[in-house]
Amino acid sequence: MPVYRLRDDRRSNSIGSRKGGWVVVTITPKTLDEALEFRSKERMIPFAGGTDLMVRRRSWSGTSPHFEYPVLFIGKLPELKKIAVAAEDNILAIGAGVSLTELLEHPEVPEILKQAIRVMASPAIRNLATLGGNICNSSPAADTLPPLTVLSATLVLQNTASRREVPVVEFIKGPGHNDLKTDELLTAIHIPVVKNNFYFYKKVGTRKADALSKVSFAGLAQTSDEIITEIKIAIGAVAPRVVSSVEAEAFLKGKPISDLPKLLPELKQMYEEYIRPIDDQRSSAAYRKEVSFRLMEHFITQLK
């Protein structure tokens, strides 16, 4: 049964066009359970901060955004606004509705993720934009995805009947496409709390901040007695999904830090097949590939 026939329906209007523009149907649940119940009964568009969604739904400049399905407002749900460390399993749990500004202000949020947030938008946008929204928008240039990938983040996806966890690296299927089912909501992002000896993040855009990425690079490493014990590399905006390689990371583990510079040619060769950038209005494919390898070299040579 469509939700507009339910007694507790809180639609603002019926969907469709009328003189003066489109009518947008909105539903504002009070709890996460209620949101999942609405989501289970009819296809809806989850809406938290709306900073990406509003841009994507504009058909052309100067027009109101057009939504082909009812809009489900979830940005104020208290269950999605929490940040907490679960001591028993040493996991940082971030609600999908937590804003980017709130992440910057929280002491437990990893610095590499904060670095990405500081350069990804203006303060006004960061006040509205949510971590869950940036993930679910699933852009190849999404600034939080490379840091979340190297942090081994997993995503909590829920519907009325079940809950599942999916690694962020497996969640994104391609530009604008992901593994979220039509009856599910992304409710939380889980990040293992691990002490890393070294982290590196760099975004290359047309400006120092508040610009779409041409390339973004995130790297984390743990060392012991000048030996690599753990290393993660993720590169954004150079392929349909964030580029990472389990094979390349395994190749570097156990290597002395002093040997890394001479291993760079082989490492770059491993990433060659995965880095498949495009030419667009922001940059050329050749430039993106060259910058990716330069950032990789900088990360590797800075390890200590």
pLDDT tens for each residue of 72-96: 999 999 999 999 998 778 999 999 9
Longest dimension (CA), the chain: 71
The residue assigned the tokens 């040619």 is: 265
Question: Where is pLDDT greater, at 55 or 38?
Answer: 38
pLDDT tens for each residue of 109-153: 999 999 999 998 889 999 999 999 999 999 999 999 999 999 999
Distance CA 193, CA 91 (A): 6
Alpha-carbon distance values, 52 to 130, 242, 292 (Å): 10, 18, 25
CB 44 within 8 A of CB 38: yes
Share of the chain above pLDDT 90, in %: 76
Token pair belonging to 128: 């509205």
Say what the alpha-carbon torsion angle 164, 113, 224, 231 is, to the nearest 10 degrees: 60
Q: What is the pTM of this model?
A: 0.88
pLDDT tens for each residue of 190-227: 999 998 889 999 999 765 555 678 999 999 999 999 99
CB 180 within 8 A of CB 147: no
**How confident is the model at residue 258, as a pLDDT?**
95
**How confident is the model at residue 195, as a pLDDT?**
85
Q: Which domains does the chain have, with CATH numbers?
A: 3-73 (no CATH), 78-192 (3.30.465.10), 198-302 (3.30.390.50)
**How confident is the model at residue 253, as a pLDDT?**
98
